[in-house]
Structure 1
Amino acid sequence: MNSLDWAVLIGYFGVMVAIGVWSHKRVDDVSDFFTAGGKMPWWLSGISHHMSGYSAVMFTGYAGIAYTYGVTSFVTWSLPIAVGVAIGSRLFAPRINRLRSRLHVASPLEYLKNRYDLTTQQALAWSGMLLKIVDVGAKWAAISTLLSVFTGISLNQGILITGVITAVYCTIGGLWADALTELGQFVIQLLAGVSMFVAVVLKLNDKHIGFFGAWDEPALHGHGKPLIGPYGTVFLLAFLFIKLFEYNGGMLNQAQRYMATGSAREAERGARLSAVLWLVWPVVLFFPMWVSPLLVHAAKPDGSDSYALMTEQLLPHGLLGLVVVGFFSHTMAMCSSDANAIAAVFTRDVAPVMSRRARAWGERSGLVAARVTTVLFLALSMAVATQVDSPTFKDIITVVIKWVAGLMGPIAIPMMLGLLRPFRRSGPTAALTSWGLGLLAFWLVNYPINWQVDGGVPLEYQVSVPLAVSLILYILIGYVKPEDTPARLAVIEKVNTDGDAVAVAAAAGVSEGAAPLS
């Protein structure tokens, strides 16, 4: 990077901070900070939902998969997300929006106390927060890895720079700042992605290979196969279920985008927009990665540095800075949205249980607590980021695929399926059992059993077994030991209908006022 590239990067950081300062004026209370007061337009919600699902891991870990295996990086990652979000646009988005509009909650997990009980809510809240700290730590490590390639600064310095900038704008501006910066980041990503796509196509033409002829080259042998290597049919099916839960609210930050719109209908429209973007846009981003073996030789065995090397070689200064900014836009969008979601869970769900003083927070003190929690979460995730290359985590892609995907099912299934009428029989026993034994299954498959199996347990089973165990137990225990009390039925009906309170109570089979709903 030269002075022109640095000017682009510093200008980007300045704009992000400026948006955070401007958004500060729109945050008057906790509802504004966590759910934009339910005033976010559907198109902004959709773009924000899409952008908050990316990070620099795409340009490191998934770039390595694309470099090694080809189009399976799209088939087993962004395609399941697109399908999952499309399904969730009808199944989950309207119901999650009603958590805010009908139950008047500001955290995606706040309703669990009435849907199940306090113990279930706390179990899911604590495990979700801990998983997010590890997940976001991997994201910081990914962007810092890229930054070190281009600038030569150390991993820890990169983590500190990106973390501090993100903390500034998302702490003062809340969800409004997240969404507006994500809109700007989407425009930057569009320019950077198209620039890289065009540069690669021109380079292929210079080599007399061409856009379509690339697939006939020996270096890309097998790159056109949709499922290859460790990414087979079982992995694809498992990821489809995982992404269905994860990207519709299981990881909390996407749930806030549904909650932030004015109505259930707008939440559904925003989700559909996000699904279309997930289906189309990653193809543009992935194409340079698929053909990267024709243009560069990765220094790392997993190919995770291939995209960065290709960017350095193909783009002129200025555009190089723009693409680096694109890397930042992905990661900062996801990490800031995660920080806001975890702050909501801690201040609304965890702190009131731990402290009597927290239960008495007013609007001002609650807003201060939300901002302090956001900073603390980012600091903890940055500390974890410095350990991503340790033997415990092994590498970035291991954290993202094995840990996050493997642990997602046990945490998300009680939260997401608890919204739906067909699972009304599943109560606290089903939720806690599926959660606890799902986590146990993750540990067994990834560690004791993995150590005993010659060659290790295949990756597809490492991520699918915990999900399957949790899903089966949640449904089965609901039928064996139904716990569909009138109060719980009333909560379910509230998030499944837009009718008035009397109609909802009647549908639940209880009289109005028979049990508290929120």
Structure 2
Amino acid sequence: MNFIDYFILIVYMLGIFGVGFFLSTKNNSAEDMFAAGGESPWWTSGLSSFMTMFSAGTFVVWGGIAYEHGIVAVVINLCYGIAALAVGYYVAGKWKTLGVNTPAQFIELRFGAAAVQFYTWAMMVFRIVGVAVSLYALSVVLVAMMPLPEGNFLRDEATGNLSLTWAIIIFGSIVVIYTMAGGLWAVLMTDVLQFIVLNLAVLFIIPLIFSDAGGVSAFIERAPDGFFALTNDKYGWFFMVGWVLIHFFMIGAEWAFAQRFICVPNEKDARKSTYLFGGLYLVSPLFWLLPPLVYRVINPNADPQEAYILACKTVLPAGMLGLMVAAMFSATASMVSSQLNVFAGVLTEEFYQRLFKPKATEIELLRAGRIFTVILGAVVVLVSLAIPYLGGAEKVIVSITSLMVGPLLAPTIWGLFTKKINIKALWLTVSVSFVLGVIFKMGLAKEGFLVGEATQGLADWANGNGKIVDLIIGVVVPVAVLIFMDKSAKSVAEGWNNVENLIAKSKEEGEVKKASDLPAKIVATCLLVLALMMFGLVIYNEQDKGLLAGFGLVLVLIGGGIFSFLKIQKQKA
């Protein structure tokens, strides 16, 4: 990266800061901070859900799979789209009809206070450690691309690049500050802006990487055997079906996604937002995985995990590499900010308000939400900084808690539709799945504590069929337990009546909310700023002037078109 790349990156960082603090004016209550006041446009919610799936791993892990295995990486990511469309049809609208501000409110109504506490702390440990690992991975990737001159206090003298410690602190602080200031509005809008930057950077790379490979036909001819197969021995159709089922539970019940269904004005918008999310995942994976796919024929001996980064460095002109770094930061920032907002909301309502100040005013709840956002953000940064010294402990934590994700999420979706299951079904589902998970994923692992002469055959099967084991523990067992508990229950659960009463109350109040047009104005302004940046890079670069100018012109037309559409809509109103 050179001066212009750093300039682009800094402008981007300042831009999302500005958006976060601008949107802080819309936060006047806890509902505003954690549910966007129910005024988020459906497309904003959909794009935010799309970005919530991204992280540094999207580029490192999936880029590596694409480089190594080919088109199968695209097919795996298409499974997210199928799962999201199913969630849009069956689940998303149901969340909106509940009349809750956070998913935790539903859990309490349906299963009780004990379930909320269990969900909160179990999921928080899993997600906080998970996003900390993602922040660390992002920082490792980006510092390799960011050399600094001697004497700069941010420089690591051993590498000559940005210090990993400072990278974690800087990147983490940026996310925490804009999430704290703007709440869910800031999360939603920065996700949308990050979507624009990500896709702009990726689409810009595609013609350049194909040109460097000698064209599309040359790429096809030089690709390894089996590179365009839809499945392979490692990722077969059974794995794909399991991937869809697991992510149906994840997208339908994980709190970060459920919050996106709650924050829109009505049930129809909740479904539309999820259809947008799913539709994008049926189209976009091919585009953003093309760089590592094509790079395979340019450099067949690269480290797969570095393929995406190397492809960018190979073809991007000055300035655009800075935008690509911004896009990679955006991917992880979206994940981190989503989790911070969700759990800050839960702690505000289920911890601060319930235990300490039941009669807290909206201003007090808003202040508490911001404080919890900062505290959680600080924990994420500290865990990220500690990862090199944990000796792999963070992987153990993620492995153990991930055993509970499917069993935790399945009862949530089940509880949305069936009347009979109660908290006993939740405890049994979690207990059975967790015990089986410990047995198969730890006890029967290589050199596990249960491996012996009598269990060697079972251990060999489990280790050779890890994906089948994951599907059984994460989907088959929870569903089987829930079916059993549902069929054996003799009466309607009290929690179902609580939910029904809240739905009736929400319908009686009949408050009709309208989607705000502010997000569209922010997007249009962002597109025009990016267009100016493109035109500026035309002057700075000797090559690719036509491509830069063309992208700039397209952005001007789209941004101008949005402003024109809003003006026409206002006149009609």
- TM exceeding 0.5: yes
Cα deviation, residue 410, structure 1: 1.4
Structure 1 position 292, deviation (Å): 2.3
In the alignment, which residue of structure 2 is the partner of 1:441?
436
- 1:154–1:296 Cα change, 3 Å: farther
| Residue number in structure 2 paired with 1:60 | 60
Q: Residue 232 of structure 2 corresponds to which residue in structure 1?
A: 228
Q: For the residues of structure 2 that align with 1:457 and 1:381, how far apart are their CA atoms?
A: 34
> Which of 262, 270, 276 in structure 2 is aligned with 1:267?
270
Q: 1:143-189, CA deviations, whole angstroms, 9 ceiling, x for partnerless residues?
A: 11221220132433222111001111110100111111112112111
Q: What SS is found at the alignment partner of 2:463?
A: coil
Contact 1:135–1:404 at 8 Å: present in 2 too?
A: no
Decide whether aligned partners of structure 1 residues 445 and 297 sit closer, same or farther in structure 2, where only a CA change above 3 A counts. same
State the secondary structure of the residue aligned to 2:226.
coil
1:426 Cα deviation from its structure 2 partner = 1.4
CA distance in 2, matches of 1:399, 1:309: 32
Residue 374 of structure 1 and its aligned partner are, at CA, apart by 1.2
Query: How far apart are 1:291 and its partner, in Å?
Result: 2.5
Q: Could you tell me which residue of structure 2 aligns to residue 465 of structure 1? A: 472
1:96 alignment partner AA: W
Instruction: Kindly indicate whether residue 115 of structure 2 is the aligned counterpart of residue 120 of structure 1.
Output: yes
Does the aligned pair in 2 maintain the 1:95–1:495 contact within 8 Å? no
The yes-or-no answer on 1:22 pairing with 2:22 is yes
AA paired with 1:418? G
Q: Which residues of 2 match residues 135-154 of structure 1 at below 5 A?
A: 135-151=130-146, 152-154=161-163
Partners of 2:262 and 2:393 lie apart in 1 by 33
State the match for 1:175 in structure 2: 184
User: 1:84 is paired with a residue of what secondary structure?
Assistant: helix
Equivalent residue number for residue 310 of structure 1: 311
For the residues of structure 1 that align with 2:202 and 2:278, how far apart are their CA atoms?
19
Deviates more, 1:284-293 or 1:440-449: 440-449
Which residue does the alignment assign to 1:46?
Answer: 46
User: 2:285 aligned with 1:282, yes or no?
Assistant: yes
Shift of 1:204: 1.6
What amino acid is the match of 2:66? A
Deviations 1:82-141 (CA, angstroms, capped at 9, x unpaired): 111111112111111123xx3xx3221211222122222221222111111122112202
Instruction: Give how far 1:298 is off.
Output: 5.9
Structure 2 counterpart of 1:413: 410
SS of alignment partner, residue 6 of structure 1? helix
Secondary structure of the corresponding residue to residue 222 of structure 1: coil
Deviation at 1:21, TM superposition (A): 0.7
For structure 1, which segment, 24-33 or 236-245, has the greater mean C-alpha deviation from structure 2 after superposition? 236-245
Q: What's the CA shift for 1:487?
A: 5.3
Q: Distance in 1 between the 2:362 and 2:142 partners?
A: 39
User: Which amino acid in the other structure matches residue 337 of structure 2?
Assistant: S
Q: Which of structure 1's runs of 4+ aligned residues deviate more than 6 A?
A: 402-405
Change (3 A) 1:494 1:310: same
**In structure 1, the residue corresponding to 2:105 is in which secondary structure?**
coil
2:234 matches 1:202 = no
Deviation at 1:428, TM superposition (A): 1.1
Q: Matched residues in 2 for 1:387 and 1:226: separation?
A: 39
Would the aligned equivalents of 2:88 and 2:270 in 1 still touch at CA under 8 Å? yes
State the 1:323 CA deviation.
Answer: 0.9
Q: 1:125–1:70: structure 2 CA closer, same or farther, 3 Å change rule? A: same
- After the TM superposition, which residues 476-487 of structure 1 pair with which residues of structure 2 at under 5 Å, given as runs? 476-482=484-490, 484-485=492-493
CA distance in 1, matches of 2:278, 2:163: 36
Kindly tell me: are residues 296 and 378 of structure 1, through their superposed partners in 2, closer, same or farther at Cα, counting changes over 3 Å?
farther
Report the Cα distance in structure 1 between the residues aligned to 2:484 and 2:504, rounded to whole angstroms.
23
Question: After the TM superposition, which residues 332-371 of structure 1 pair with which residues of structure 2 at under 5 Å, given as runs?
Answer: 332-352=333-353, 355=355, 357-371=356-370
Is the aligned partner of 1:215 residue 2:199? Answer: no
1:491 aligns with 2:495: no
Whole-Å Cα distance in 2 between the matches of residues 496 and 412 of structure 1? 25
Given the superposition, is the C-alpha separation of residues 382 and 225 from structure 1 closer, same or farther in structure 2, using an over 3 Å criterion?
farther
Q: For structure 1, which segment, 160-169 or 472-481, has the greater mean C-alpha deviation from structure 2 after superposition?
A: 472-481
- 3-state secondary structure, aligned to 1:61: helix
User: Does structure 1 conserve the Cα–Cα contact (< 8 Å) formed by 2:129 and 2:394?
Assistant: no
| Distance of aligned partners of 1:52 and 1:500 in 2 relative to their CA distance in 1, 3 Å threshold | same
Amino acid at match of 2:465: P
Kindly indicate whether the alpha-carbon contact (under 8 Å) linking 1:220 and 1:291 is maintained by their aligned counterparts in 2: no
Quickly say closer, same or farther: Cα 1:352–1:278, change in 2 above 3 A: same
TM-score by length of 1: 0.87
Partner Cα distance (1:227, 1:406) in 2: 26
Check if 1:164 corresponds to 2:168: no
- Worse-superposed segment, 24-33 or 253-262: 253-262
With 407-416 and 258-267 compared, the bigger mean Cα shift is at 407-416
Distance 2:163 2:504 in 1: 50
> Structure 2 vs 1, CA of residues 482 and 350 (structure 1 numbering), >3 Å: closer, same or farther?
farther
Flag structure 2 segments of 5+ consecutive residues without an equivalent. Answer: 147-160, 452-458, 511-573
Q: Which amino acid aligns with 1:244?
A: F
Instruction: Give the Å deviation of 1:482.
Output: 4.4
What is the CA distance between 1:216 and its match in structure 2? 3.5
For the residue of structure 1 that corresponds to 2:382, the secondary structure is helix
Is the CA contact 1:96–1:258 (under 8 Å) kept in the aligned structure 2?
yes
Deviations 1:455-509 (A, max 9, x none): 935331353232122221122122223452355245158659986599xxxxxxx
Structure 2: which amino acid aligns with 1:382? V
Q: How far is the alpha carbon of 1:383 from its aligned partner?
A: 2.8
- Cα distance in 2 for partners of 1:84, 1:130 equals 25
Report the AA paired with residue 415 of structure 1: T
| Residue identity opposite 1:240 in structure 2 | V
Q: Which amino acid aligns with 1:157?
A: W
- Which residue identity is paired with 2:371? V
- Say whether the 8 Å CA contact 1:122–1:350 is kept in structure 2: no
Q: 2: distance between equivalents of 1:489 and 1:330?
A: 40
The match for 2:79 is 80
Separation (CA, whole Å) in 1 of partners of 2:379 and 2:465 = 31
Paired with 1:88 and 1:34, the residues of 2 have a C-alpha distance of 22
Q: TM-score if structure 2 supplies the norm length?
A: 0.79
**Are the counterparts in 2 of residues 430 and 475 from structure 1 also a CA contact under 8 Å?**
no
Measure the CA separation in 2 of the matches of 1:428 and 1:345.
19
Preserved CA contact (<8 Å) 1:88 1:271: yes
The equivalent of 2:564 in structure 1 is none
Query: How far 1:419 moved relative to its partner?
Result: 0.7
Number of residue-to-residue matches in the alignment: 482
Deviates more, 1:459-468 or 1:142-151: 459-468
| In 2, Cα distance between equivalents of 1:391 and 1:299 | 27
Looking at structure 1, the residues matched to 234 and 351 of structure 2 have their Cα atoms a distance apart, in angstroms, of 39
Query: How many percent of aligned residue pairs carry the same amino acid?
Result: 24
* Change over 3 Å in CA distance of 1:197–1:403 after alignment to 2: farther
Distance 2:138 2:102 in 1: 28
CA RMSD of aligned residues (A): 2.6
1:371 Cα deviation after fit: 1.0
Cα contact 2:64–2:306 (8 A) shared by 1: yes
Which shows bigger deviation, 313-322 or 28-37?
313-322
The residue type paired with residue 373 of structure 1 is F
CA distance in structure 2 between the aligned counterparts of 1:399 and 1:226, rounded to whole angstroms: 33
Secondary structure at the aligned position of 1:82 is classed as helix
Confirm or deny: 8 A CA contact 1:442 1:465 kept in the other structure. Answer: no
- 8 A contact 1:51–1:186 mirrored in 2: yes
Residues of 1 paired with 2:492 and 2:472: CA distance? 28
Tell me the residue number matched to 1:507: none
How far apart, CA to CA, are the structure 2 residues paired with 1:497 and 1:203? 62
